[in-house]
Amino acid sequence: MPELAALHDEPFVPEVLESDLVYGGRVWDVRRDRVRYGDGEIVREYVAHTGAVAVVAIDDDGRVLLIQQYRHPIRHRDWELPAGLLDIAGEEPLAAAQRELAEEADLVAGRWRPLVSTWTTPGGNSEMIHVFLATELAPAASVHAREDEEADIRVEWMPLSAAVDAVLAGRMHNGILSIGVLAAERSLRG
């Protein structure tokens, strides 16, 4: 039996026999792959995703920045962290996180560090999201124009512990928010 601390995700690259573009979208695509697996073949459809970043922004009072915006697939205005796609060719995740914090919250941060990276729904898409902790916050030099769902973003600051409580009590359901505030609380505690 392996030592529990040694357990980790392991790359596995089966032979892809066929890969078809089922739908080419504006932001991401849907693919259908036929794969040799074990003694047979399997067919899987999934969203081919560019990847994303999210930011746990903590102010000097220990409060976390939350944004609320409409998400059509779930028909909710859910609470989230500032986040966005890795959709600029060659842009590093940290640079994308800095861009997203400025675009969605008109903030910059003096200190940045990686917090956690996670696949959002590995059975249905290839999205890897990189979550960063941002501190030493200050207003951005300019305010960004927002449109569509971002036009009516609601911004709230709440104590980090209260955000963790809201997640654990089932009042906030966003997966990235959940992972981000739990990881931030653990990281800042020790």
What are the catalytic residues?
150
- Tell me the whole-structure pTM to 2 decimals: 0.90
CATH number of 52-189: 3.90.79.10
- d(CA 29, CA 125) in angstroms, rounded, equals 10
Domain layout of the chain by residue ranges = 10-48, 52-189
Query: Between the CA of residue 159 and those of 4, 80, 146, 151, 185, what are the distances in Å?
Result: 33, 15, 26, 25, 10
The pLDDT value given to residue 143:
73
Q: Is 62 left (phi over 0), alpha (psi -120 to 50) or beta?
A: left
Residue-wise pLDDT for 102-130, tens only, equals 999 999 999 999 999 999 999 999 999 99
CB 14 within 8 A of CB 37: yes
